[in-house]
Amino acid sequence: MELRFCTWQEVAAYLERSRAIIIPIGSTEQHGPNGLIGTDALCPETLGRALGGKLEALVAPTISVGMAQHHLGFAGSITLRPSTLLAVLQDTVNSLVRHGFDSFYFLNGHGGNIATVSAAFSEIYAQTSLQPGSHNRPSIRCKLTNWWDAPGVKALCGELFGDQDGGHATCSEISLTQYAYPDSIKTAEMTPAKAPYGPIYDAEDYRRRFPDGRIGSNPTLANPEAGEKIFETALAGLETDYKTFVANGARTP
Ligand code: NI
């Protein structure tokens, strides 16, 4: 169930049986010579919609722009400052809390979001924790799951790509988008075949260290068949992860 295709009455009816919602969150940033700029949003969106469809869980619109300041040296990348993303997350959760949602399952596609999303959760919890005895606001639970951390995914990607998967513009994330969007598959020559590893600082430094945008990866190995395997494995792992999250504490409506 996608929120954007529901009526308000359908959402009200959903809240009679569940107070949990899946929120895909990603980024809009360069992904090397053959990776789509939307990769980090498309991956959790694809998996989130499939998960919601399988479990009849509500899926919020994807938060498609994240914290990606280090990618601004490449055309097309967009970032929110950490403080802006933090405000977006608080306002999104608080809007949904008003309607009765209390369990927020953020399905993440971008490592650069993790610190800020975690900080946003602490801000959200602090709203209730700083007002002990207040009954105006129910207890809220937020969880962040990176799709690549779903059980079985890392092992599969290791089997598929070995040490060529890399850290950014990975074979696995590009394969997943190639499976989901076969009409948008890109090809490119890359030198060296496997990109270097290194630390991440600001955008200028990133561009110097990683001239074509990749970190540690050889995404010429990406292919839609691998993407399908990754999709199926991730979906199975996320199903368990989501069900456990909902079962461990979601209030009965
Ligand atoms: Ni990515």
pLDDT tens track for 185-201: 999 999 999 999 999 99
What is the distance in A from the centroid of ligand 1 to the CA of 120? 21
E strand intervals along the chain: 20-25, 58-59, 103-108, 141-146
Rounded Cα distance, 96 and 1, in Å: 16
Q: How far is the CA of 39 from the centre of ligand 1 (A)?
A: 6
Q: β-strand 141-146 against 103-108: which pairing, if any? A: parallel
Which whole-number Å values give the CA distances from 232 to 9, 25, 46, 81, in the listed order?
32, 20, 11, 33
What is the domain range of residue 103? 3-247
224 has pLDDT over 80 = yes
Q: Residue 194: its pLDDT value, please?
A: 98
Would 252 be classed as within a structural domain? no
CA distances in angstroms from 71 to 1, 215, 218, listed in the order given: 33, 12, 18
How far is the centre of ligand 1, averaged over its atoms, from the C-alpha of 4 (Å)? Answer: 25
> Structural domain tally of the chain?
1
CATH of the domain at 224: 3.40.50.10310
Query: From ligand 1's centre to the CA of 94, what distance in Å?
Result: 28
| pLDDT recorded at residue 137 | 66
**Averaged pLDDT for residues 36-41:** 98
pLDDT at 33 over 70: yes
Cα 59-28-201 angle, rounded to 5 deg? 125
Residue 253 lies in a domain: no
| Backbone angles phi and psi of 237, in degrees to 5 | -65, -40
On whether residue 167 sits in a domain, the answer given is yes
Pairing verdict, β 141-146 and 20-25: unpaired
| pLDDT confidence band for 135 (50 / 70 / 90) | low
